[in-house]
Structure 1
Amino acid sequence: MSALSLITAEQLYAQMQSGREAVILDVRNADDAAAWKIEGRRLTHIPIPYFDFLEEDEELFRALPRDKEIIVVCAKGNSAQFVAGLLEERGYMAAVLQGGMRGWSELHHPAVIAEDETMKLIQIVRPAKGCLSYAIVSEGKAMIVDASRRTGVYLQLAEASPFEIEHVADTHLHADHISGGRSLAEQTGAVYYISSGEADGTGLAFEPLEQHPVIRVGRARIEVLAIPTPGHTPGSTSFLLNGRYLLSGDTVFVSGLGRPDLGGKARQWADDLYETLIGQVNRLSDEVLVLPAHYADIEEMREDGTVAAALGTIRKMNAMMHPDDRESFIEQAAGAVSTEKPPHFEEIVAINRGELQVDDKRGAELELGPNRCAVHHRH
């Protein structure tokens, strides 16, 4: 088994982004494989549970391609090694995804969204969770927005670039993944920002975003304007960078809006979301580039692997961006959420509120599974 080929999550992602076809043999149980899987435009996903291979039924193998490398995936990597061994015995080209779906869940990939003489804007994509975080860099200084639990990703990025992290912010209190914002601020000596509407009553040490309408990053007068955009959560905040880039958190996605039901006040928060669209988002120009904190579908990803869309394009795709009236919007937004809530979201919220501490192993377990923070309305 030690001679089996291994492929890392980074290598698989690079293969997918290069446009080369990938064949994934998912040997987890059928429910897990259906609920959460590796996705890509040129990717073939073949779910066959591990236990089916114990019978060594040759019909299972005949359904697999002989002319392409088959990447075998399981939860942590062990079952995949057994199945890959069976494939190689029969002359198939096989490789094992190192760390399985848990390893895939931890992958973060940085990509430059925009760069000019005054600043660089970097999007850090976490493809397994559909999570997106950002580094705004200017004159050797940086602000990190919506950092994930794996703070080492940002520390390594800062060292390689190099830049000093002076500001860290969360657009809202996340429910589908553990925020690394407070931890990253503590490790770097940066100021940690979140709105009082999210953090009051938590005991968290933070700077209220509503008290900082302008946050400057570096000496180049890069301005980040904090815009209250409640609706997904009461204190959700978006950032408008240089009047051109909207870091929208979970308020506006490429193909949807933030779901207003996670706090158990769907109609009330849907009403807040309506006010956000009418009073804040709709005053911005069509040319503003929307950069959300999540994406829910591979089709939202651009050819270069980044997730972004012009606000004008989003308005054309999403009828809810220009609601006819308040009541119909509330009915639609509050009643349209049909997906399950994020797995373990109560425990994750408690962690992000500072009320619960978990070790890294438990943190990784809590984050397994897809993102479910959006209400989608494309046409």
Structure 2
Amino acid sequence: MAVSTINAKELHERIHSENAVFILDVRNGEDYKDWKIEGRKIKSVNIPYFDFLDDNEDIYAGLPKDNEIVVVCAKGGSAKMVAELLDDKGYKTSVLNEGMLEWSQFYHPVIVMEDENAKIIQINRLAKGCLSYMIISEGEAMVVDPGRHIDEYTILAKKEGVKITNVMDTHLHADHISGGPQLAEKAGAAYYISRSEMQGCDIAYKALEDYEQIVFGSVSVKVLAVPTPGHTPGSVSFLVNEKYLLSGDTIFVGGLGRPDLGGKAREWAQSLYDTVFRKIANLSDDTLVLPTHYADIKEINEQGVVGAKLGNIRASNEVMRTEDREQFTEMVAGASGATPPNYEEIVQINRGIAHVTAEEATTLEIGPNRCAVHHS
């Protein structure tokens, strides 16, 4: 039997089918522990590629013969060799075509809401836990926090029959390369980001500090810029139609964003306190929070959307109920984890100060996001 290959889209469809998916990841143990393909119906095991070269029959003991095994490695080559070994022993196998490299670049759009006036689509880059948004009204579209694979958005806009007229970044991203400026240029759209995020750069943009709201579409979908510093000094959230808070990396389904990436954890934690207890304190508990990252697949609901009512986040998150400023600062500033890989270089790229090839960008972005290490 020949070993078949599948692409990331096909794997995603299998993960969301009725049947469980068995994944054999043949990367080294550290890489697997740090970053792997996850899902509610996935059974995943890690047996490094080199273990199969020893011809030790014991390593096959936990592998199913009645289920197809999807073999995954970093770029596809090692997985293909292991799959061929398994095939010779009677196992049914397939290979993720370009491995984690391809999975890291897969985007999946899901409709958050739709009525006669507006539509919000959440675009999930599953391998990175990165979320971006397309807000549609009367033939126009606003894209918020786009990833660097800008064709994902132009193709989606064409499918929806809309023109991209506004592109926004909630903040200067540290874990992935923004597609904001490039998408805006390609679409002939305006690009918005906070002035305080773009010091020393020569990228053309409109400063969000200059706008209280941005109206587009004949039905006037209102997007209110809400300064929500804390994750970065210029972090901004967007309140759409008074109901949907596109919160960037400030508020997550699982809590609050980290304030330590600028080396000023306590200072930025103070700003985050003001955001929580002053800026968003008056927002309704029914406001749906739609963040730019998530850290756990459990944050994806039954509809495939990462989002939660603000009231539920407040109720389940101790730090958001901690009104003592000093205690809040200690809890937030002292709880940060590992920094995003290559984040200093990625920040420079997003400012337009550094430039990389597409291949170099892919290498920089491989791995999990670290911005969604929340404080719960």
Q: Do Structure 1 and Structure 2 share a fold, with TM-score over 0.5?
A: yes
Answer yes or no: is the 8 Å Cα contact 2:184–2:190 preserved in 1: yes
Task: Measure how far apart 1:106 and its partner are.
Answer: 0.3
Task: Measure how far apart 1:7 and its partner are.
Answer: 1.4
Task: Measure how far apart 1:201 and its partner are.
Answer: 2.3
Answer yes or no: is the 8 Å Cα contact 2:67–2:92 preserved in 1: yes
Match of 1:340 among 338, 341, 366: 338
For 2:312 and 2:217, locate their aligned partners in 1 and report how far apart those are by CA, in whole Å.
31
1:273 aligned partner, one-letter code: L
Q: Does 1:374 align with 2:372?
A: yes
Task: Measure how far apart 1:200 and its partner are.
Answer: 2.6
Cα deviation digits, residues 236-292 of structure 1 (max 9, x gap): 000000000000000000002110000000000000000000111221011000000
Task: Measure how far apart 1:316 and its partner are.
Answer: 1.2
Task: Measure how far apart 1:217 and its partner are.
Answer: 2.0
Answer yes or no: is the 8 Å Cα contact 2:258–2:375 preserved in 1: no
Task: Measure how far apart 1:37 and its partner are.
Answer: 0.4
Q: Which sections of structure 1, spanning at least 5 residues, go unmatched?
A: none
Match of 1:137 in 2: 136
For 1:346 and 1:318, locate their aligned partners in 2 and report how far apart those are by CA, in whole Å.
30
When residues 375 and 83 of structure 1 are mapped into structure 2, their CA distance, relative to the original with a 3 A threshold, is closer
Within a 5 Å distance, the mapping from 1:46-57 to structure 2 comes to 46-57=45-56
Answer yes or no: is the 8 Å Cα contact 2:270–2:329 preserved in 1: yes
Task: Measure how far apart 1:204 and its partner are.
Answer: 2.0
Within a 5 Å distance, the mapping from 1:1-379 to structure 2 comes to 3-337=2-336, 339-378=337-376
For 2:362 and 2:317, locate their aligned partners in 1 and report how far apart those are by CA, in whole Å.
34
TM superposition score normalised by structure 1: 0.98
For 1:44 and 1:259, locate their aligned partners in 2 and report how far apart those are by CA, in whole Å.
31
Answer yes or no: is the 8 Å Cα contact 2:332–2:375 preserved in 1: no
Answer yes or no: is the 8 Å Cα contact 1:137–1:217 preserved in 2: no
Q: Secondary structure at the match of 1:13?
A: helix
Q: Which sections of structure 2, spanning at least 5 residues, go unmatched?
A: none
Answer yes or no: is the 8 Å Cα contact 2:192–2:207 preserved in 1: yes
More off after superposition, 161-170 vs 369-378: 369-378
2:256 aligned partner, one-letter code: L
For 1:19 and 1:295, locate their aligned partners in 2 and report how far apart those are by CA, in whole Å.
24
Task: Measure how far apart 1:19 and its partner are.
Answer: 4.3
Task: Measure how far apart 1:368 and its partner are.
Answer: 0.4
Answer yes or no: is the 8 Å Cα contact 1:333–1:375 preserved in 2: no
Answer yes or no: is the 8 Å Cα contact 2:172–2:197 preserved in 1: yes
Cα deviation digits, residues 190-232 of structure 1 (max 9, x gap): 0000011111322221101111111112111100000000000
Task: Measure how far apart 1:17 and its partner are.
Answer: 2.2
Answer yes or no: is the 8 Å Cα contact 2:108–2:124 preserved in 1: yes
For 1:366 and 1:20, locate their aligned partners in 2 and report how far apart those are by CA, in whole Å.
34
2:355 aligned partner, one-letter code: Q
Query: Could you list the runs of 4 or more consecutive aligned residues of structure 1 that deviate by over 3 angstroms after TM superposition?
Result: none
Answer yes or no: is the 8 Å Cα contact 2:257–2:375 preserved in 1: no
Q: Secondary structure at the match of 2:314?
A: helix
Q: Secondary structure at the match of 1:282?
A: coil
Q: Secondary structure at the match of 2:120?
A: strand
